[in-house]
Amino acid sequence: MAVLKKAALFSLVFSLLCSTAVFADEVSIREEINQLKERITTLEKKVSEQDTYIAAQNTTTQSQQQKIIEYETKLSKFEENLHEIPGTPMKLMEGLELGAGGTMIVQGTNNTNNATSDVTRKEGRADASYSADITLGKEFKEIGGKAFLHLEAGQGAGLEDDLTLYSNVNRDADNDNNVRLTEFWYEQVLFKDKVALTFGKLDPTAYFDQSEVANDETTQFLGRLFRNSPTIEFPDNTAGIHLAYMPVGWLELGYGLFDGNNDWEKIGDNLFNIGQVHFKTNFFNLPGNYRFLGWNNNVYHTKWQDTDKTKEANYGFGLSFDQKANDIITLFARYGWQNPKVYNPDIMATGELNYSLTHSWSTGFQVEGKPWGREKDILAFAVGQAIPSKDYKKYGSTQISNPRAKPEGHLEAYYNIHINDHLSISPDFQYIWNPFGKDIADDTNGIFVGGMRAQVDF
């Protein structure tokens, strides 16, 4: 019995101990659960705070982006308003074309045949000249217009004041060191680019008697005979109107009306009219230009046969062709004829000698330097004649007792060396036979002219 009581007591104590252990474990678990709940609450609070921060940041970013958009809109509107203000620098920069260049020439000869020259005739001489140009163009694309001005200055007559010729040797000579406005015009395109109207102070040779290879004394032939036909009485840069009509791509019709004596006075009494038909060909995929022109000049001329008739008009016609023969060779030819019965008293050879030409012709070629590894170099050659009129021979020759007035022949060759995109150098050689038709006393031998030209482009 005693043993049973002890066993029951032991069992009761053991149960109490186990219950105490289980209770202790439950208490510990509850504490851990409570701690976890506190941690979860803390984390949820932090997450909530972080979400609030991110939302605030997003709001700030959106606000900043909105402000940037507003600033850009205001800036765009400001620029738009600025462009609407005429004469602003930003407006001028759109479509602006600025060019500048200079030409320096040195020429020497074995025979200065001008009787009024400051050197002994038949004596050798070397002279220099330079010219400088600044051009400014502004294109108005929205209305199809363009404005252009050309400033020019130069010094030195070169050899031209030492040589008596029908057609002289330095077309670039510009013995006027004052900066002056040589061109100033406005051009308007009309009728879907088929018509172009230009007016202002114009250079007629920019629109008539052109040539791809013989029309620029700064890089091509220097002799006047090869720059333009001497039988066309082009007025110097003067008041004028030019109208071009291009009905199709291969045809251009041009007409010009200019102040013939370039004094801007009574221009209706001294009109120089000229018209040209220009065919643009592409035979065998080789471009060519064929120009035919006629002109009339109402500037007062004098009749050779009757010098009391001083209000005569002059007229003539001409042609100018240039044609690519292949990828590197271009051929050219010019011809001109004018009224042989009159002369312009303002057109004189050096020594103040009046004369008149009936015919002139020239032909030649240029070769690009690709075959010898100099693709941008140019080799060119030309030959031609200026032929005096029969009326000049009969009534105006300086040698009336034994009239001569033979055709004056010209030959020129040059090689344009491309140094870089800003500098080219051209050795130039010319030979003139029958200078002034041998219609001067003595000094009728042929004239050699050797020179060097440097062209600088900015």
Grade residue 246 by pLDDT with cuts at 50, 70 and 90. Answer: very high
**Same-domain pairing of 163 and 32:** no
Q: What pLDDT score does 338 carry?
A: 98
- Is residue 29 a part of any domain in this protein? yes
Q: Please, what is the Cα angle at 181 between 180 and 184, to 5 degrees?
A: 180
pLDDT > 90 in the chain, percent:
67
216 burial via Cβ count (<10 Å: 0-12, 13-18, 19+): middle
**Same-domain pairing of 163 and 234:** yes
Section 119-128 average pLDDT: 74
Q: Is residue 8's pLDDT more than 90?
A: no
- Is residue 8 a part of any domain in this protein? no
Higher-confidence residue: 407 or 117?
Answer: 407
- DSSP state, residue 99: E
Of 50-54, 158-162, 363-367, 438-442, the range with the lowest mean pLDDT is 50-54
Domain that holds residue 355: 99-457
3-state DSSP call for residue 143?
coil
Q: What pLDDT score does 32 carry?
A: 72
Section 107-133 average pLDDT: 80
- Is residue 1 a part of any domain in this protein? no
What stretches of 165-262 show up as alpha helix (H) in DSSP? 224-227
Q: Which of 94, 127, 151 is the last residue of a domain?
A: 94
Section 155-171 average pLDDT: 95
**Same-domain pairing of 53 and 131:** no
Section 428-445 average pLDDT: 89
**Same-domain pairing of 26 and 136:** no
Grade residue 450 by pLDDT with cuts at 50, 70 and 90. Answer: very high
- Is residue 273 a part of any domain in this protein? yes
What pTM does this model have? 0.78
**Same-domain pairing of 133 and 272:** yes
3-state DSSP call for residue 162?
helix
Of 22-26, 283-287, 426-430, the range with the lowest mean pLDDT is 22-26
**Same-domain pairing of 122 and 185:** yes
- Is residue 3 a part of any domain in this protein? no
**Residues near 316 by beta carbon (within 8 Å), at least 6 away in sequence:** 231, 232, 233, 294, 295, 336, 337, 338, 339
- Is residue 126 a part of any domain in this protein? yes
**Same-domain pairing of 131 and 247:** yes
383 - beta bridge partners? 363, 411
Q: Is residue 102's pLDDT more than 70?
A: yes
Q: What is the CATH number of the domain that holds 148?
A: 2.40.160.180
Q: What pLDDT score does 98 carry?
A: 93
Per-residue pLDDT reduced to its tens digit, 303-340? 999 999 999 999 999 999 999 999 999 999 999 999 99
- Say if CB 420 and CB 447 are below 8 A apart: no
Q: Which of 73, 94, 115 is the last residue of a domain?
A: 94
**Same-domain pairing of 137 and 85:** no
Q: Is residue 240's pLDDT more than 60?
A: yes
Q: Is residue 9's pLDDT more than 80?
A: no
Across all residues in the chain, what is the average pLDDT?
86
**Same-domain pairing of 38 and 109:** no
- DSSP state, residue 170: -
Per-residue pLDDT reduced to its tens digit, 397-423? 866 545 678 999 999 999 999 999 999
**Same-domain pairing of 103 and 87:** no
- Is residue 7 a part of any domain in this protein? no
Q: What pLDDT score does 75 carry?
A: 47
Q: How many structural domains comprise the chain?
A: 2
Per-residue pLDDT reduced to its tens digit, 200-239? 999 999 999 999 999 999 999 999 999 999 999 999 999 9
**Same-domain pairing of 390 and 449:** yes
Q: Which of 49, 69, 94 is the last residue of a domain?
A: 94
**Same-domain pairing of 184 and 219:** yes
